[in-house]
Each structure stands twice: as structure tokens, then as C-alpha cells.
Amino acid sequence: MDINLNGKVALVTGASKGIGLAIARTYAENGATVVLTARKQEGLDEAVTTIKGETHAIAAHAGDPDAAEATIAETIERFGRLDVLVNNAATNPHMGRLIDVDLPRWDKTFEVNLRGPLVWIQSAWRQWMQANGGSVLNITSIGGMSPGGAIGVYDTTKAGLIFLTRHLATELGPKVRVNAISPGLVKTDFARALWQGAGEDASFPWPLRRIGQPDDIATAALFLVSEQASWITGTVTVVDGGAVTSRAG
């Protein structure tokens, strides 16, 4: 089965490193023109040098509606279309019990992780996808599927993003598909606090025993926005090495 994005234009938020960069790279390698966004232009410029394919980098704050509007407008003006939107950008300023969070950090987490995806989807819908169709992919987390753990504020936003994904799928079909991926523990700088004590050969307490890599998520992300997934919407695909199944996640 030949999965490709030939002729498509994709925009990926939080794309300067980690899962976002892996998704951007995989899309470009499989035929898409990819627009990468993140807060800092310097990191984006470095990221695009690692990608083979047509790319463009635009610095934009994922929680800023004006930035979303301008970035999507520039994408359409430059490339003539916007077929795929990946909401990957996220933040986690509070580590610890949810009950102890101060409101500024609560608000910041929701601004980027939940309000942010909504405003990017709204802008993509209004500027292109409502008339022309497309695919939206939200990166959530298995933490949003069950309570407990040390990042309850982050997980609460991801639970909200899971619901948002499913609900918008009911509103935006049939022209626009909306799906999500819920990763388990992936070896990224963003999740460093959760894995940094483990050695290179560490065995983890879930069926596949290893920590995830960004490319594990990118492979699923390629399929879900491709034509091969044209009858899939409103789904949350868990990519976690079996952590949820084993209740170790």
C-alpha cells in the first residue's frame, strides 16, 4: 500500500523538535509541502535543514488567535491551499498535584493545549477547509484517558482535546475529517522529566517494553491524514506500546 501526500500542503504546530518535527519530516518525505510553526524562528530554521522536501517555517505562538490567522493566511497565499492541519504544540508549566496549581499556569496550559487547537481549526476551516475539505489531526495523550499521575493539569487539557476532536468530527464532516493520536511516553525533550532516569536499555512496564520514539507517532500521523484513511474520522488512535492496555500508563 503506497501511502503518500503528493500534492498536499500540511501545517504542523510545535514542529521545531520532537513529535512535531518527526511528523513534519515524514509528511515532507512522503510528498507533502510542509509549513512548520513554533514560537522561535531560530529553532524552526534549524529544523527545516533536517528535512528533505519542500518546507517553509513561520514563527507563531500556538495560543495566539491572531498568529493562527496570519500563519494560515500566509500558507494559503504562498502555496495555494491547506489540506492538513496538525495541532501538536503543547505546554506543561505545572508539574505536581492539580489541586495545587495557580490560576496563571492553569490558564496558560489551557490557552496553548486546548484553546489553541480550536482557534487553529477555526481559522483553517474559515479560510480553506469549509469550501475545499481537508484533514485535522490533534496530538493528545494517554494521560487524557484516565486520571492520576503528576501532570493532572496537562492531562485535563488533553482529555478536553480528545472530546473536542470527536465533537468537531460530527460538525465538520463530510468535507473535513478530524482525528487524534494519543501517544504514550515518548522520548522527547518535552517529556524529559518522565523518562530521564531510565538508561538506554531500560525495560518499561508495558507490553512492548520500550519507550516510544517520535517516528512511532509520525508513522500513524501519516496514515491518518492520507487518502487511505478517508473513511476514518472522530477517532483517537492510541500509540503507546500497550501502556493503556496493561494499565501501566
Catalytic residues: 154
Report yes or no: 246 and 240 within 8 Å, Cβ to Cβ: no
The candidate with the shortest Cα–Cα distance to 170, out of 225, 227, 231, 234, is 234
- Residue 93 to residues 71, 98, 180, 191, Cα–Cα distance (Å): 25, 12, 23, 12
CA atoms within 13 A on the CB side of 14: 23
- Residue 47 to residues 8, 63, 83, 216, 247, Cα–Cα distance (Å): 20, 21, 22, 19, 35
- What is the 3-state secondary structure of 190-236? CCHHHHCCCCCCCCCCCCCCCCECHHHHHHHHHHHHCHHHCCCCCCE
